[in-house]
Amino acid sequence: EAGVTQFPSHSVIEKGQTVTLRCDPISGHDNLYWYRRVMGKEIKFLLHFVKESKQDESGMPNNRFLAERTGGTYSTLKVQPAELEDSGVYFCASSQVGAKTQYFGPGTRLLVL
Amino acid sequence: SQQGEEDPQALSIQEGENATMNCSYKTSINNLQWYRQNSGRGLVHLILIRSNEREKHSGRLRVTLDTSKKSSSLLITASRAADTASYFCATDAWNRDDKIIFGKGTRLHILP
């Protein structure tokens, strides 16, 4: 069974540009989560989808971040315009409804110059 | 505020020795999990311990949970070079739906 995949693995962009991260959850997992780890800090929750609906987006830092999960399958996280403090590793995780174990993708390493 | 805090922040031990990492949290939890992240890789789930459990084993891993002290420990016995990674504890609670909160992690380095 394929795990959670994320694309791209790395992204280097300039301040002010736009970047879109993609996450493909494990097939059949209705829960999809985005997390972010800024250098040296803890991994922080960004938001949670149940199927295509945003269950909890309390962790989204500001309105420059937009997450979508059209059709309830893969999800995208767009940062527009990117700022220096957005640099970090963005993780996606998925789980079955009711399950407490989340399965994480390898992360996307974003560097904003 | 941060829910989970791992202690120590960094740990270096000789291969073959045991490694112990601790985690403290602030509010009531439902489950506590430990994850590992190898350099440049994603998070891998290691073990989950429920709030009504006190100890759990999985291979060379031993996790304890003390809800009265709001703390947990992860013991890795007979460490190997491949255990070099960052280890995170993460908690979830009934009132937080499925959201889990991570600590900053402990960077474990196994010396040959």
Q: Which residues of A touch B90 (CB under 8 A)?
A: 43
How many Å apart are CA A59 and CA A56, to the nearest integer? 8
Longest dimension (CA), chain A: 40
What are the residues facing B73 on neighbouring strands? B22, B64
- What's residue B2's pLDDT? 39
Who has greater pLDDT, A28 or B4? Answer: A28
pLDDT at B5: 72
Q: A80 CB near a chain B CB, below 8 Å?
A: no
Cross-chain residue pair A45–B101, CB shorter than 8 Å: yes
Enter the DSSP assignment of A28.
Answer: T
pLDDT value of residue B92: 82
Torsion sign, CA atoms A33, A36, A42, A44: negative
pLDDT per residue as tens digits for the range A18-67? 999 999 999 999 999 999 988 777 888 899 999 999 988 989 999 999 99
Q: How many CA atoms lie within 13 A of A74 on its CB side?
A: 13
Looking at residue A33, what is its pLDDT? 94
pLDDT of residue B94: 65
Which one is predicted more confidently, B13 or B103? B13
Q: What percent of chain A has pLDDT over 90?
A: 73
Digit-coded pLDDT (tens) for B46-86 = 999 999 999 999 999 999 999 999 999 999 999 999 999 99
Say which DSSP state A15 is in: T
Residue B95 is predicted with a pLDDT of: 61
- For residue A68, CA distances in Å to A48, A54, A56, A91, B38 come to 11, 8, 13, 15, 29
- Which residues 7-46 of chain B have a CB within 8 Å of chain A? 30-31, 33, 35, 41-45
